[in-house]
Every structure is written in structure tokens, then in C-alpha cells.
Chain A
Amino acid sequence: MGEILDGLGAAAVLVFTLDPYLVEISLRSLAVTLSAVLVASLIGLPLGAWLAVRDFCGRRAVVIVLNGLMGLPPVVVGLFVYLLLSRSGPLGVLGLLFTPWAMILAQVFILLPLIASIGLQVMGDLWEEYAEMLTSLDATPTQQMGTLLWEGRHGLLTAALAGFGRGIGEVGAIMIVGGNIDHATRVLTTAITLETSRGNFALALGLGLVLIALALTVTAAMHLIARNRGTHP
């Protein structure tokens, strides 16, 4: 019990003195996950819109696979990206392994099915409602997709935030492809793992608090968005 209290105290000091180590890895965490969310959204949301408006043979299978991939174990994704980027792998020449780029790539794989699936759900519901009207107005498939993306913007932002929540707390994949290298690829989650194993509980707790604060900020943002949606039903 005393250890936890000591840890909390030390953590508070770290946070309020803006400890350089803490700031560095927090910013790296944010940069990696925000980049991954951005890339996964830029691919996943149009993909979801396309699946919402297009009916083709095999569509159901694609949707089922996409939903299934939401539960992709991060460690396995990490292993896959590791093999892809390792020196003898197909993308080995790029030399990206153990860089933040590799971590972003791994997180894109993890977040893409999640963001695309939630996006499809949001835009599929909208399509039920809008299909006849959009067909009546002769909207082209591209215009239909654009309309769904814009009309569903609040729900889609929630999809992106869900992706952020999953990415910021993820440790398995980025540990494998990033390597948890000090001043290079260390982020909040991998640092917590390391400091805990070293017995530096105060630091580990401080990092944990920052992580929780980030997650809470995201939740608060979601609530704000939900409330905004209420005013423009």
C-alpha cells in the first residue's frame, strides 16, 4: 500500500514538473497513434462509405472479414509487420524496422478494420435512409460516398476516436516492431512495461497517469461530439 502511495506522489512530481523524459515519450505516443489514426481513417472511412453504397457479389464476405479483423491480436500484427520490414523481408530495403514509422504502420493495420467497420455501420444506417433520395437526385457513386462521409461526420469522428483509444493503449505490436529504444521508439506503454520490470514503480505510475489522462481527454471529446450531434439531429 505504501509503495502505491509513494508511487503516486512521485508520479505527481513527474507530471507537475513536466519531466523531460515523460514529456518526450508522451509526445511520441501521441505522434505515433495520431498518425496511425489519420492514415487508417483516410483509408478506412472511404472504404466504409464504398461498402455502404456498393452492392456487389461477395460484399457480405468482405464485411464479415472486416468485422473479424477488428479483433486482430496486436502481437500477431506486430510479428507480421516485423517480417515485412526485417532486413530479409519484402520491405527490408526501406530500413524502417525499429523506427516510429514501423510502429505507425503496425498501428494502421490494427486500427484500419476497426475504423472501417464502425464507419460502415454509421454510413450503412445513413444509406438505408438516403438511398432512394440520392438515387432520385442522380448522385454519382462518388457523390453518394461524399454525402455519407459528410452527413455521418459526427459518428465517423467517434470511429476515429475509438481507433485512437485502441492505439494509444496498445503495447504488443509496437514493442515488437519498435523495439522500445530509448530516445527513438519508446512510448508510454512500452515505457510502463520497462519501468515496471525494473521496479521503478513511481515512474511507471506517472506514465500510467498520463496515459489515463489522454484516454479521458478522448472520452470527454466523444461526449462533446455526442452533445453537438443532439443539436443537429
Chain B
Amino acid sequence: MSRRAGSRGLLPLELRAAQAERAGKRVAGPVDLVIAGRGLTCVIGPNGAGKTSLLKMLHGLLPLSAGELRWQGAPEGLRARQGFVFQTPVMLRRSVLENLAYPLRLHGLGRTAARARAAHWLERVGLAALGEHPARGLSGGERQKLALARALVREPELLLLDEPCANLDGAATHAIEEILQAARREGTRIVMTTHDLGQARRLADEVLFVVHGKIHESGPAGRFFEAPRTGEARAFLNGEIVR
């Protein structure tokens, strides 16, 4: 993926005193956060803490009620240079291959070229045999792989994933993690939420621990897991209830 080296980047991507509301209630923030460099960041924290909201703020999907989101390059380049995998991925009522070709078609790629590139990514995520199947008939793990491939097919600079391995068995989780590791090696910056602390230990370079919509603690993964600084983080890592 040498393409990235020459092109103008999106990163660093920055949230400044950013807040978001839903139905008049603050669901996240205020948050200050810089996404830059390389590597993989895991966002962890209890249910309802605001992890999904944080990812959607970074993606420009959840409008800020205060603060700002800044990035490099063209104003319209924000989402074009990001890939997003939703907590419950939605599949189009088309074949697996067509689902994967779809983002490329939106970007103006011709049908044949889009299908060829989609086929390449199907191969990479191990779904090549299912290309002509209806995407809505896939199993949970296959869906998740397809959603991941669909987020990667435009070779984004930043990949945002919302619990990509929820409900997956060990083998499927392993397969997804392999794909993520490969993407990271190729220089894709990754931010993902997960409830699987084992997964966070395996993958994360950096951890953001979110409670009540705020980043309660953050830092290198090794340090966070070995010596969490706050009582809440210690309690969370011990599987206790965090209030």
C-alpha cells in the first residue's frame, strides 16, 4: 500500500473539547483526543459509556454540540479516508461481491474494475467462495468479515471498528484479528472498541478507557494493563462494576 505514502494524509485527526448530545442528553465529552501516527488503539469501558459515540464523533457521523473535529487535507476528505465497521453491520440486498464493490462504485470506479478489486479483498478475508451468495444470508462471522472488507476496500488511512468480534467464536475472532494485524502492518491507523480485554491485550498499542462519556484514562497498552492509574480502571480490569 505505497499509495498512502505519496497522498496527502488525514491524520492527525483531532477532537478538541468535543461533546455530543442525543435527545438533548450529553452522551459523550468533553473529549480531547489526537489520533496520529501508526498503530492500533482500543477503546474500552462499560456498556453505555460512550464508546460508540466517540467513534461516530471521529467519523463525523455524530454532530458535535460543542468543541471541534479537525483533520488534515480537504474538508470533504474526512469520511473518504476512513473506513467504519458498525456494531451491527448492515448488508445491502445484493451478493457478497456486489456489497464489496459498492463503496468503489460510489467513488466512480467502473463496474468491472470495482468487481475485480472487490474480488481481491474477498480473497484476503477468506470469503472468495461466497462471492455470489446473497450477503444477507451470511453467518455472523462471515458478515463481520464482509463488513471489515467493505471498510478496507477503499484502503482508508484510518479504520474505525465498533466491536468487530462481538458474538464471534474463537476461530472467527482470530481470523478478524489477523486481518486487522495485516492492515496495521500496511500502515492503516486503527481505532476499535472491544469488550474483550484479552483481545485488547493482544492487539492494542494504546488504550482509551472511557467512562461516562469521558476518556477517564489513556496510555500505552502495556502500562495500562500492568499498572492502571485510576481506581476505576483497576476495578474495570478486575471485572468489577464501574460507576
Interface of A toward B, CB cutoff 8 Å = 129-130, 132-133, 135-140, 143, 147, 151, 231-233
The answer to whether B225 has its CB under 8 Å from any CB of chain A is no
A151 to B80, CA, bound (A): 23
Question: What are 24 of the A-B contact pairs (CB < 8 Å)?
Answer: A129-B90, A130-B92, A132-B61, A133-B86, A133-B90, A135-B61, A136-B59, A136-B61, A136-B79, A136-B86, A137-B102, A137-B106, A138-B80, A140-B106, A143-B106, A147-B92, A151-B92, A151-B93, A151-B94, A231-B134, A232-B134, A232-B136, A233-B93, A233-B137
Find chain B residues with CB under 8 A from A233 CB. Answer: 93, 134, 136-137
Task: Please report the C-alpha to C-alpha distance between residue A129 and residue B86 in the assembled complex, in whole angstroms.
Answer: 12
Q: Which residues of A contact B59 (CB under 8 A)?
A: 136
Nearest CB in chain A to that of B136: its residue: A233
0/1 interface trace, chain B 112-155, chain A, CB 8 Å (1 if under): 00000000000000000000001011000000000000000000
Q: Given A133-B90, A136-B79, 9 more contacts at CB 8 Å?
A: A132-B61, A133-B86, A133-B89, A136-B59, A138-B79, A138-B106, A151-B93, A233-B93, A233-B134
Q: Which residues of B contact A133 (CB under 8 A)?
A: 86, 89-90
Q: Specify which chain A residues have a CB less than 8 angstroms from the CB of B92 in the assembled complex.
A: 130, 147, 151
> How far does the Cβ of B144 sit from chain A's closest Cβ, in whole Å?
14
Q: Does B224 belong to the interface (CB within 8 Å)?
A: no
Q: How large is the interface on B (under 10, 10 to 19, 20 to 34, 35 or more residues)?
A: 10 to 19
Residue of B89, B103, B106 with highest tally of chain A CB at under 10 A: B106
Task: Specify the main secondary structure of chain A where it touches its partner.
Answer: helix
- How many angstroms between the C-alpha atoms of A147 and B89 in the bound complex? 17
Chain B, 64-115, CB within 8 A of any chain A CB: 79-80, 84, 86, 89-90, 92-94, 102-103, 106
**Cα distance, A129 to B92, chains bound together (Å):** 10
Q: Choose from A135, A137, A232 the contact partner of B103 (Cβ within 8 Å).
A: A137
Among A130, A137, A139, chain B packs the most CB atoms within 10 A around the CB of: A137
Number of A-B residue pairs at CB separation under 8 A: 38
Known contacts A232-B134, A233-B136; decide if A139 and B86 are in contact (CB<8 Å).
Answer: no
| Closest B residue to A140 using CB positions | B106
A204 to B103 alpha-carbon distance, docked (Å):
57
* Pairwise interchain contact B61-A232, C-beta atoms closer than 8 A: no
A139 to B103, CA, bound (A): 8
Nearest CB in chain A: distance from B57 CB, A: 13
Q: Give Cα A139–Cα B79 distance, bound, in whole angstroms.
A: 10
Cα–Cα distance between A146 and B57 once the two chains are bound (Å): 27
Also in contact, A132 and B80, with CB within 8 A (given A137-B103, A139-B106, A233-B137): no
> What is the distance, in angstroms, from B48's C-beta to the closest C-beta of chain A?
19
In the assembled complex, the CB of A144 is this many whole angstroms from the nearest CB of chain B, namely 10
Could you say which residues of chain A place their CB within 8 Å of the CB of B84?
Answer: 136
Cβ–Cβ < 8 Å partners of A147 in chain B? 92
Q: List the B residue with the shortest CB-CB distance to A232.
A: B134
Please, which residue of chain A has its CB at the minimum distance from the CB of B160?
A136
* A232 surroundings in chain B (CB, below 8 A): 93, 134, 136
Considering the chains assembled together, what is the distance between the CA atoms of A232 and B132 in angstroms? 12
- Contacting residues, chain A, for B137 (C-beta < 8 A): 233
Which single member of B86, B102, B106, B136 contacts A132 (CB below 8 Å)?
B86
CB distance from B178 to the nearest CB of A (A): 24
Q: Which residue of B lies closest to A130 (CB)?
A: B90
Complex: A138 Cα to B134 Cα, angstroms: 24
A130→B136 CA distance, assembly (Å): 14
- Min CB distance A129 to B, Å, is 6
**Which residue on B lies nearest to A151, using beta carbons?**
B93
Residues of B within 8 A of A143 (CB): 106
Name the distance in Å between B100's Cβ and chain A's nearest Cβ: 12
| Complex Cα spacing A138 to B76, Å | 9
Q: Give 1 or 0 for each of B183-204: 1 = CB within 8 Å of chain A CB.
A: 0000000000000000000000
| Chain B residues closer than 8 Å to A137, beta-carbon distance | 79, 102-103, 106
C-alpha spacing A147/B94, complex, angstroms: 11
